């Protein structure tokens, strides 16, 4: 039996705020007095166009998106974009691209891109005094002739975060922001393309948000791009070239409305950093928990750690689950423990988990 009150710390599909769930429950039976379910709203109807336009408006306002950028919603997760980005951005398979390797997801993106173009792989992690660090951007060995540079500011699996913003002259920067989108203030103008799957901070799985600069929409002019993933078509048809996943869009709309109500991104960023600081403090002050990432490069959305005695992992997961803290298991590729703190996780959930972790450490260290 679980505690009545539980907190879901899953890396994905992440927690949805209670007011949003409540609204969904209501709209499932009758959306906005239409007498039909929100799931039945046709994407060509005025009702749905309203959801689309209001979603874009929220995004523009929250992220302060410049006018020379378009918003696209594309089928599938961020992983789909690992192939779709090179397909849209290259002119031939002999084109060169720069890919930064900083962990699990950026490495997968590299292996996918290699199918379509020449990839200059740039490893940016190193270890100093037993701590993982990231080379500063001006040390990244970027080639002169690459079409774009791809990197992942927050490695969701490893818990590694690159706070520095790109400033490369004339280089198109593509960023996989899946686990930090809308969790902080971000200067969009530093990027050519930002993409993020929606199941972490902005709703449900199966959809990816793209924010793309106008001059990058129509680079590959050959007709080899699958039409449904062609950025030019997605822009032209307002992301509805084929029937879109309307329910996911609708949930994203509610999430953005909720986020706006929280007071915008500078406020949310501050809370998010407070939340992660509380937990890193518990980790650093104990002999039981270990995080070997240099503090400057620690993720504030995905906190990874191990316990000194590996046999205690199972017990930690079992006890935390019984206490109502769900999904704390690390990604299967790295093991250990992972706490994901997206916007929806309230401060009280973090404080309660911190207390649990402190008590656990006094018992077992
Ligand atoms: C979750 C995640 C992905 C994969 O997203 P899917 O929706 O499963 O395709 C890719 N990159 C990052 C940084 C992620 O956090």
Q: Are residues 104 and 176 in the same domain?
A: yes
Do 269 and 252 lie in a common domain? no
145 and 255, same structural domain?
yes
**How far from chain centre, in Å, is Cα 78?**
9
Out of 244, 261, 278, a domain closes at 261
Q: Is the pLDDT of residue 2 over 80?
A: no
pLDDT-based confidence at residue 1 (cuts at 50, 70, 90): low
Residue 276 is part of a domain; what is its CATH number? Answer: 3.90.1150.10
CATH of the domain at 225: 3.40.640.10
- Residue range 36-41: mean pLDDT, rounded: 94
In a domain, 11, yes or no: no
In this structure, the answer to whether residues 77 and 224 fall within a common structural domain is yes
- Ligand 1 atom with the shortest distance to the CA of 176: 13
pTM above 0.85, yes or no: yes
Range of the domain at 298: 264-364
Task: Tell me if 130 sits within 8 A of 182, measured CB to CB.
Answer: no
Same domain, 33 and 109: yes
Domain boundary among 261, 288, 322: 261
Whether residues 327 and 278 fall in one domain: yes
Q: From 261, 284, 307, give the residue that closes a domain.
A: 261
Query: What amino acid positions are annotated as catalytic residues?
Result: 105, 176, 200
CA of 85 to the centre of ligand 1 (A): 14
Asked whether residue 17 is domain-assigned, the answer is no
Please check whether residue 286 lies inside any domain of the structure.
yes
**Residue to probe by mutation, ligand 1, list 10, 105, 210, most atoms within 8 Å of CB:** 105
pLDDT digit string, tens, across residues 257-306: 999 999 999 999 999 999 999 999 999 999 999 999 999 999 999 999 99
Name the residue with the closest Cα to ligand 1, atom 14.
Answer: 178
What's the total number of domains in the chain?
2
């Amino acid at each position: 039996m679980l505690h009545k009150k539980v907190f879901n710390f899953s890396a994905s599909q992440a927690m949805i705020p209670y007011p949003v769930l409540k609204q969904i429950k209501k709209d499932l039976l009758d959306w906005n007095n239409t007498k039909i379910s929100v799931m039945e709203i046709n994407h060509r109807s005025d009702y749905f166009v309203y959801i689309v336009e209001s979603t874009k408006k929220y995004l523009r306002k929250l992220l302060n998106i410049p006018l020379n950028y378009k918003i696209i919603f594309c089928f599938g997760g961020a992983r789909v974009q690992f192939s779709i980005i090179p397909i849209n951005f290259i002119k031939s398979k002999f084109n060169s691209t720069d890919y930064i390797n900083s962990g699990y997801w950026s490495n997968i993106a590299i292996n996918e891109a290699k199918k379509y173009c020449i990839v200059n792989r740039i490893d940016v992690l190193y270890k100093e005094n037993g701590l993982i660090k990231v080379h500063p951007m001006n040390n990244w060995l970027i080639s002169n002739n690459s079409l774009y540079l791809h990197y992942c500011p927050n490695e969701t699996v490893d818990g590694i975060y690159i706070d520095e913003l790109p400033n490369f002259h004339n280089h198109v920067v593509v960023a996989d922001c899946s686990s930090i989108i809308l969790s902080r203030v971000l200067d969009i103008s530093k990027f050519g393309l930002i993409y993020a799957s929606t199941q972490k901070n902005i709703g449900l799985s199966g959809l990816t948000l793209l924010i793309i600069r106008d001059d990058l929409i129509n680079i590959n002019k050959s007709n080899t791009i699958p039409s449904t993933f062609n950025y030019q078509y997605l822009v032209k048809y307002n992301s509805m070239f084929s029937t879109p996943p309307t329910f996911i869009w609708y949930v994203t709309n509610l999430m953005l409305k909720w986020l706006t109500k929280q007071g915008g991104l500078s406020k949310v960023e501050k809370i998010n950093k407070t939340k992660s600081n509380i937990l890193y403090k518990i980790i650093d002050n104990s002999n039981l928990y270990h995080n070997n990432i240099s503090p400057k490069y620690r993720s504030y959305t995905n906190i990874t750690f191990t316990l000194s005695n590996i046999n205690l992992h199972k017990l930690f997961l079992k006890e935390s689950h019984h206490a109502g803290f769900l999904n704390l298991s690390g990604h299967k590729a790295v093991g250990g423990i992972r706490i994901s703190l997206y916007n929806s996780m309230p401060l009280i959930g973090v404080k309660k988990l911190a207390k649990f972790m402190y008590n656990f450490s006094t018992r077992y260290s």
